[in-house]
Amino acid sequence: MKFFKRLLNKIESETAASNAKHDDSDAIFSLASASLLLEEKLGLKFSKTAALCIKIINGGLFKNTINDCTGLLDVSKEEFKFDYKIFTDSFDYLWIIINGKDLPTNSDIITNVAAALSSTGDIIEEHGFSNQILSAIFQFKFFDIHNNSTINYKNDNSYNNKKNLYLIYNYKTNNFYPYIPIDNVYRDASKELQVLSILKSVISVEEDFSKWFPIKGIPF
């Protein structure tokens, strides 16, 4: 529990030196401020859901590492208001999906979800499996700014039936990039570039577009 609280306190601290190297936890926690910009500028709201995507390898040490992750999440979920689930997809990737509960502000929700994902990722890295982590993925939904409600995409063509923005943190490059799927083939590159222009001042973004890898079949 102390480990989890230590990570959560990072988002509340302003004492780090401005030239300090940002690790994965720092980058993920920066989403709290980024989410406010997305809501104000583009009408995007954090869906309360995010996930860590991990490539499975065989072996007892890896299995014990995942058990340590679930143990931490189990003892933290009530105090920090989230649920989680774990499953393996058809490509042998393990998904640890965090679902935040209702809190007074959306910033509080994303802070707790970010802390849960960050602490999980840190455990995996500390056990020597950093190369197995593909990405952390945060889901945002378009909503009607005027009515403060989620858009009915069946009746609204202004977003070409796009439902979600995914902010994907690549553990290999230590940067975020946006992914807005329109369907199983196409994505909205124009809107993704707009997201990039808004976020690049507050989070570490990937400016090499060739590294904006689409993740097909995100399970939320």
Q: Which has the higher per-residue pLDDT, 23 or 155? A: 23
**Mind listing the pLDDT tens digit for each residue in 60-106?**
999 999 999 999 999 999 999 999 999 999 999 999 999 999 999 88
Q: Is residue 71 part of a domain?
A: yes
Q: Is residue 16 part of a domain?
A: no
Other Cβ atoms closer than 10 A to 30: 20
Q: Which has the higher per-residue pLDDT, 151 or 81? A: 81
- What's the confidence (pLDDT) of residue 192? 95
Q: Is the pLDDT of residue 31 over 70?
A: yes
Q: How many domains does the chain divide into?
A: 1
Q: Is residue 149 part of a domain?
A: yes
- What's the confidence (pLDDT) of residue 9? 54
Any long-range contacts for 38-43 (C-beta under 8 Å, 24+ apart)? 38/140, 38/165, 38/195, 38/198, 38/199, 39/106, 41/198, 42/142, 42/194, 42/195, 42/198, 43/142, 43/143, 43/144, 43/145
Q: What is d(CA 53, CA 138) in angstroms, rounded to the nearest whole number? A: 11
**Mind listing the pLDDT tens digit for each residue in 108-136?**
999 999 999 999 999 999 999 999 999 99
- What's the confidence (pLDDT) of residue 139? 97
- What's the confidence (pLDDT) of residue 27? 87
Contact (Cβ atoms closer than 8 angstroms) between residue 150 and residue 142: yes
Q: Is the pLDDT of residue 5 over 70?
A: no
Q: Is residue 107 part of a domain?
A: yes
Domain that holds residue 151: 2-6+23-211
Q: Is the pLDDT of residue 24 over 90?
A: no
Question: What torsion do the CA atoms of 142, 104, 139, 159 make, to the nearest 10 degrees?
Answer: 0
- What's the confidence (pLDDT) of residue 119? 93
In the numeric block, which tokens belong to residue 114? 């970010």
pLDDT tier for residue 8 given thresholds of 50, 70 and 90: low
| Gap between the terminal Cα atoms of the chain | 27
Q: Is the pLDDT of residue 193 over 50?
A: yes
Q: Is residue 13 part of a domain?
A: no
Residues 4, 82, 111, 177, CA torsion sign: positive
Q: Is residue 220 part of a domain?
A: no
Q: What is d(CA 53, CA 86) in angstroms, rounded to the nearest whole number? A: 10
pLDDT tier for residue 49 given thresholds of 50, 70 and 90: very high
CATH at 132: 3.30.70
Q: What is the pTM of this model?
A: 0.83
Q: Is residue 206 part of a domain?
A: yes
Q: Is residue 219 part of a domain?
A: no
CA count, 13 A, side-chain hemisphere, 186: 8
pLDDT tier for residue 147 given thresholds of 50, 70 and 90: very low
Q: Is the pLDDT of residue 22 over 60?
A: no
